[in-house]
A and B are shown apart, each in its own frame.
Chain A
Amino acid sequence: SQKIEQNSEALNIQEGKTATLTCNYTNYSPAYLQWYRQDPGRGPVFLLLIRENEKEKRKERLKVTFDTTLKQSLFHITASQPADSATYLCALATSGTYKYIFGTGTRLKVLA
């Protein structure tokens, strides 16, 4: 069955360091992969979209990579700040359906 796994339930890092979150998938051939941020009690907020024919996308301090051979996406936050503390979710959809399926999320805590 299709499965989306995010590397760990929680990740603590020191302020200023780079946070790296992982999204792995099996039995799936996504055409689109997205990353979202979710704060407690709020709905997820879109961060980045990357397509299957793209290797890397950047937006300010954020970088996403997409390796369809490894079936993995990496999400990096450089120069992390306490305000980056949140749960980060990856979501995938196959071409033509736009039926986005989410991973369980990684709770990131940036320590001051």
Chain B
Amino acid sequence: DAGITQSPRHKVTETGTPVTLRCHQTENHRYMYWYRQDPGHGLRLIHYSYGVKDTDKGEVSDGYSVSRSKTEDFLLTLESATSSQTSVYFCAMMDSPNTGELFFGEGSRLTVL
């Protein structure tokens, strides 16, 4: 496989609690992404990273923060989860824009009650 894993794969939490999703890659790829996928909306970009400590907002960044302190890990944090953040979250990585291929993880299903 492409060497990218997400944890946890499933999580149920309550409104107002903090949640952190982890994306770990073993390929030394520079670019990493967090997307959420909801019916009728497709994949929407939350944040992405173009290097260690270099991140930028995506389409739907409100309520989310990210950190990338080392190449292999990209963390997505929901400071205070809301029911609207119930979704499937996908992490992706990319090595070079020349090839442009995004490799996706298997997804993390988050339910906020």
Chain A residues with CB under 8 Å of chain B are 32, 34, 36, 41-46, 49, 89, 91, 93, 97-105
When A and B form their complex, what is the total count of cross-chain residue pairs whose Cβ atoms lie within 8 Å? 58
Q: Is the CB of B42 within 8 A of A89?
A: yes
Partner of B43, one of A44, A97, A98: A44
Nearest residue (CB) in A for B96 is A98
Using a Cβ–Cβ cut-off of 8 Å, how many residues does chain B contribute to the interface with A?
Answer: 27
**Does B106 reach chain A (CB closer than 8 Å)?**
yes
Q: Decide if the interface of chain B is mainly helix, strand, loop or mixed.
A: strand
**Does B79 reach chain A (CB closer than 8 Å)?**
no
Interface flags for B31-47 (1: CB within 8 Å of A; 0: not) read 10101000011111100
A105 to B40, CA, bound (A): 9
